[in-house]
Amino acid sequence: MLSYAPVAPLSLHSIAKSGTVSLVRHCSTLTAASNSNRRFPLRSVLEARASTLPTQSPAPHARSAIHRSLPGFINGSGSRFAAVSSHEKLEDEFELHKELFDELGIKKENSGVCNGEWGGSGPVIYSMNPSTGKILASITTASKADVDSAIDAARKAQHLWRSVPTPVRGHIVREIGEALREKKLALAKLISLEVGKILAEAEGEVQEFIDMTDIALGLSRSMPGQVLPSERSKHLILEQWHPLGCVGVITAFNFPHAVYGWNSSLAFVCGNSVVWKPALSTSLVALATTKIVHSVLERNNYPTSLAALLCGAGEVGEAVSKDRRVDLVSFTGSTAIGRKVGVWAQERFGRVLLELGGNNACIVMDDANIELAVRGILFSAVGTSGQRCTTTRRLFVQQGVYDIFMEHLTHAYKQVRIGNPLDKGTIYGPLHNHSAVSRFQKTMEEIKRAGGAILHGGKVVDGPGLFVQPTIVRMDPTAEIVQRETFAPILYAAKFKDLSEAIQLNNAVPQGLSSSIFTSDVRALFEFIGPNGSDCGIVNVNVPTSGAEVGAAFGGEKETGGGREAGSDAWKQYCRRSTTTINFGDDLPLAQGIAFHHSPPTSAFDAASASGEVDKLGYAVGGGGEDVVKGGITKAASGGVGGSAGTV
């Protein structure tokens, strides 16, 4: 039986004809209250807002706040906002969580921009609790001028930071990890409130950041370079890794804390500054996280602009992506927006790190441990209410165990407790925003039209809040709808005959993030993880598609973007590589057997040429008159790579 914690409703309203507007979630366009009833982008509202603003400051719940969003740009979060009329009094629950907010430095009204100083001159937006539909707090977002000043301040701070010894930078990152440990539970509660994920998962997210600071600390004492052999006598070749510069980090709503941790921990220890553009709908998590990072920087007398913050809508993310002062843009979000970010960065020859969509599959073989597979797939399909990039969205079960496996899995789904993510025992919270609920409903309608069979769920939970039932659908795995990533808790199930067919189905989608196989057959295991197996960046065995550890590189192939974050050698993306050749001898031999003559005005050169020897300046003459000199370049007629010893 599904258990459900009652919460208060949240309604969306169209913009009023008169008065100011304020934000709730989640549309990119507004419906004009006009005779034509045509739709227009929010940018159009901005142009007219001067005539609608009141002459006096409105009450906090009626403050003017227009979400300035580029049409279609989802700021890496998937969340969108809608305007509601100013006379609507929206309930808030700030006082209910005041003790938590005080601990994290969050006020009822907050500045969402920091370039060394807190401020912001953009629109005011409201953070909402998706479990209750009530306001948590307001945030003043970034304007175009704020973007410019934050990037400029971050660049200047990096010029100081890059000269700090790497082990010292590692010590600072270690202190950030310690500060996060002290606030772990408080941060986790805030993530649950603003995102909607259950507390256990939220604590795990904070732990990811902490673990990344440990990785960065180790890297600070062991960051490798290379010493390579030279073909030239008394020469040495070095490869070094230097700070890249300014790193722009654009994060999504579903992991608002951890993804920043993946990027910032490595960026900081590698000697870079960071400009963070969080998902607009998780601005409070970004504020609290940034304040903790700043506390460490201030205690050690480093500029807080090393960790600049720009809360704002899609146009802020676009500005960061296009700015030539940002050396690397790390973007987590949809494939559609990732394509744009990639082009914007590449047009200016900036670097880009993309972690985009996933349409992840689990394969269950006849010989699999059924209980293990059910537990794993339940977590990876239902965890974070199906809103992880690594969520299992496709399930392929070998025909011999299909019926019994689906019976067990459906039974497990029936035990899922839905409710307030802060409550003990809840393992499934709300969707993050109204657009996610709408997407879920539209997808279910499309499934029915395509002939899919709903084995469990499929409905919005009656009552307030943004809750939907976790859903299992029997579906043709080649159906067009299955090829798309629907960011909702919908699991498509199908049977297969043999491993070859299962691998083909796994690889058939455009995305390539995570994959998994449950099997006891060593041959199947190695086939799946080998060159003819899964084409994803993450290939698991008897482990579900989600729940990756930070020690390994995280990312995927194809439309997932190809980027790698977190562990392994992902740190290299935050550095520039320098190749250095050192000559510690007195001669000047050239590579590839080339000798360049400038005819030194000495008789010694003529004598050496006649004898076939090499003169003291290192010029190669081959001997016996066999060299052919043209245009001052001498190539030996014989003698290996470059003729005689002095020609290399």
Distance CA 47, CA 217 (A): 49
Instruction: Decide: 338 and 375 in contact? Cβ < 8 Å.
Output: no
Give the residue carrying structure tokens 């901005």: 46
Neighbours of 229 (CB within 10 A): 8
Report the chain's terminal Cα–Cα distance, integer Å.
79
Pairwise CA distance, residues 96 & 173, whole Å: 33
**Helices 184-195 and 199-222: angle between axes, nearest 10 degrees:** 130
Query: Which listed residue (355, 485, 527, 565) is catalytic?
Result: 355
Token pair in block for residue 320: 């960061």
Q: What is the DSSP letter of 429?
A: -
Alpha-carbon dihedral angle through residues 589, 594, 597, 598, given to the nearest 10 degrees = -80
| SS3 track for 446-510 | HHHHCCCEEEECCCECCCCCCCECCEEEECCCCCHHHHCCCCCCEEEEEEECCHHHHHHHHCCCC
Task: Count the alpha carbons within 13 Å of 516 in the hemisphere toward its beta carbon.
Answer: 29
Give me the residues paired with residue 30 across strands: 40
Nearest to 332 by CA among 317, 349, 308, 354: 354
355 given a catalytic annotation: yes
The three-class DSSP label of residue 362 is: strand
Q: At 264, which helix (H) or strand (E)? A: helix 258-269
DSSP string, 17-54: SSS-EEEEEEESEEE--STT--EEEHHHHHHHGGGTS-
Residues near 48 by beta carbon (within 8 Å), at least 6 away in sequence: none
SS3 637: coil
Q: What does residue 90 show for φ and ψ, rounded to 5 degrees?
A: -85, 135
Q: What residues contact 559, with CB distance under 8 A and at least 6 apart?
A: 335, 356, 357, 510, 511, 512
User: Catalytic residues, which ones?
Assistant: 355
